[in-house]
Amino acid sequence: MPESPAKTDPFSAVVVLSGGMDSTTLLAHYAMLHYRLTAVTVDYGQRHRREIESARTIAGHYGAEHHVVDLSGIGVLLGGSALTDSEVGVPSGHYAEDSMRATVVPNRNAILANVAVGAAVARRAGVVALGMHAGDHFIYPDCRPAFVRALDELVQVANEGFPTPRVETPFITWSKTDIAKYGNRLGAPLDKSWSCYRGGERHCGTCGTCYERREAFRDAEVPDPTEYLDGVTEFAAP
Ligand SMILES: [Zn+2]
């Protein structure tokens, strides 16, 4: 590969921060490594807009420069997903179920990642970081290693001659349980993170992502700081 003519700052990272526990732990990871942090949160018209507020709080916790990018207009074009289309209900149950396909947002990670990549190239950041993990692979094609490899290649090709960041996904082979354990160990503000796809005042506890969140804390054997609608933090199958 030809050498990039302009250098990046290797200790500057643009982190895609949704406000969930994976990206919260991701930000904690780069904070622990003393990176200069830029957190990017994309408003893509998601139903669970509550996560944007969480992202703001979490970025503030780490003193990260935070940008909420308004792509809310894209929501209507991404119809048919339970996360962007009010006509489609959010399914309950486990991620490894067919019903969870309703929560796939078309091309979401490619859209979010490329917003972060643009920001990284502009500010010569050495890293673009994404928080996907192995538990996502089953239903979300844009959370798989093949996607990350393709994205990394795209970044190089699309920005040839410019300072190109590398794409890092440190949790891609981890389980959600590993993330809960690690986030807890780093002292990440997981209590401030938001997962629920239903996006109410409190976590519903029964949608796919709440279910997964509960399971992760239980299996990690760390306290679950989440306030669930049913008032219990102990995991129970819906
Ligand atoms: Zn929920």
Query: Does residue 205 lie within any of the structural domains?
Result: no
Query: Does residue 160 lie within any of the structural domains?
Result: yes
Closest CA to 128 of 35, 223, 225: 35
Query: Does residue 17 lie within any of the structural domains?
Result: yes
Domain of 54?
9-88+104-191
Measured CA to CA, the distance from residue 131 to residue 89 in angstroms comes to 25
Q: How far is the CA of 200 from the centre of ligand 1 (A)?
A: 8
Query: Does residue 167 lie within any of the structural domains?
Result: yes
Q: How far is the CA of 228 from the centre of ligand 1 (A)?
A: 8
The CATH number for 111's domain is 3.40.50.620
Checking if the pLDDT of 15 tops 50, the result is: yes
Q: What is the pLDDT of residue 3?
A: 52
Q: How far is the CA of 193 from the centre of ligand 1 (A)?
A: 13
Q: How far is the CA of 106 from the centre of ligand 1 (A)?
A: 21
Confidence of residue 155 (pLDDT cuts 50, 70, 90): very high
Task: Give the rounded distance of the alpha carbon of 173 from its chain centre.
Answer: 15
Q: How far is the CA of 69 from the centre of ligand 1 (A)?
A: 24
Confidence of residue 238 (pLDDT cuts 50, 70, 90): very low
Measured CA to CA, the distance from residue 87 to residue 82 in angstroms comes to 8
Q: How far is the CA of 152 from the centre of ligand 1 (A)?
A: 32
Three-state secondary-structure class, residue 79: coil
Measured CA to CA, the distance from residue 96 to residue 100 in angstroms comes to 7
Model pLDDT for residues 25-45, shown as the tens digit of each residue: 999 999 999 999 999 999 988
Query: Does residue 78 lie within any of the structural domains?
Result: yes
Q: How far is the CA of 117 from the centre of ligand 1 (A)?
A: 30
Checking if the pLDDT of 4 tops 50, the result is: no
Q: How far is the CA of 211 from the centre of ligand 1 (A)?
A: 7
Closest CA to 16 of 96, 132, 126, 97: 132
φ/ψ (deg, to 5) at 15: -105, 125
Checking if the pLDDT of 86 tops 80, the result is: no
Query: Does residue 228 lie within any of the structural domains?
Result: no
Q: How far is the CA of 3 from the centre of ligand 1 (A)?
A: 46
Query: Does residue 150 lie within any of the structural domains?
Result: yes
CB atoms within 10 A of CB 76: 10
Checking if the pLDDT of 95 tops 70, the result is: no
Model pLDDT for residues 31-81, shown as the tens digit of each residue: 999 999 999 999 988 777 889 999 999 999 999 999 999 998 887 887 767
Q: How far is the CA of 24 from the centre of ligand 1 (A)?
A: 18
Q: How far is the CA of 229 from the centre of ligand 1 (A)?
A: 9
Query: Does residue 230 lie within any of the structural domains?
Result: no
Cβ proximity of 146 and 154 under 8 Å = no
Tokens at residue 154, please?
Answer: 């795209």
Q: What is the pLDDT of residue 43?
A: 92
Cβ proximity of 88 and 80 under 8 Å = yes
Q: What is the pLDDT of residue 236?
A: 53
Checking if the pLDDT of 233 tops 70, the result is: no
Q: How far is the CA of 197 from the centre of ligand 1 (A)?
A: 5
Q: How far is the CA of 172 from the centre of ligand 1 (A)?
A: 23
Q: How far is the CA of 206 from the centre of ligand 1 (A)?
A: 5
Residue 19 to residues 25, 140, 172, Cα–Cα distance (Å): 10, 18, 18
User: Phi-psi category of 93—alpha, beta or left, where left has phi over 0 and alpha has psi -120 to 50?
Assistant: left
pTM of the model: 0.90
Annotate 105-166 with three-state secondary structure.
CCCHHHHHHHHHHHHHHHCCEEEEECCCCHHHCCCCHHHCHHHHHHHHHHHHHHCCCCCCCE
**Summary mean pLDDT of the chain:** 88
Work out how many domains the chain is built from and give that number.
Answer: 1
Q: How far is the CA of 28 from the centre of ligand 1 (A)?
A: 24
